Amino acid sequence: MQVEVIKERPSLLEMTDHYDREVQRLNNIPDVAIDKTRETAIEEITFYGQVQTWFVRTYKVEGGATTCALILSSKEQNMRIIIPPKVTALLVRQVSKQLVKKGRSRRGKQSNAFASISPEQRQKNLAKARVAKTKKAKAKRKSR
């Protein structure tokens, strides 16, 4: 005689993970529906020739908080990640300000724009710039 064990049906909370709950929450906020991007897929080939597919969707809430939902799908693994608003804001800030600033600085150092100017000509140019700066400061003091 076989005894059949009947398991209770798992609750909805047990069947879903953080990613599912967060995406459902974001999709149910009325203000987010307007500021939600379509899911974009990017395929990348790793150093070892394996294909990874990234799916990216961005949500922006009325207060300006931006949340990203990422899915990585590859031969070995499937991973789902929610990037919270604070981390997304940090990434945007780093890309838009710090990396651009560093890139400009690096390109400025690499450029040979001043290589053709002789040291004497450079000194003359600096002297002219100083004179112009002092004239501007005097004119500003007079206008007060």
Q: 5-55 pLDDT, tens per residue? A: 666 665 656 667 888 888 888 888 776 555 677 889 999 998 888 999 999
Q: Which residue has the higher pLDDT, 90 or 33?
A: 90
Share of residues in the chain with pLDDT > 90 (%): 20
17-26: long-range contacts, CB 8 A cutoff, minimum separation 24: 17/80, 18/82, 19/69, 19/80, 19/81, 19/82, 22/67, 22/69, 22/82, 23/69, 23/82, 26/59, 26/61, 26/67, 26/69
pLDDT at 52: 92
Q: Give me 86's structure tokens.
A: 């604070």
30 or 124, which is more confident? Answer: 124
pLDDT at 9: 64
Pick the more confident residue, 2 or 84: 84
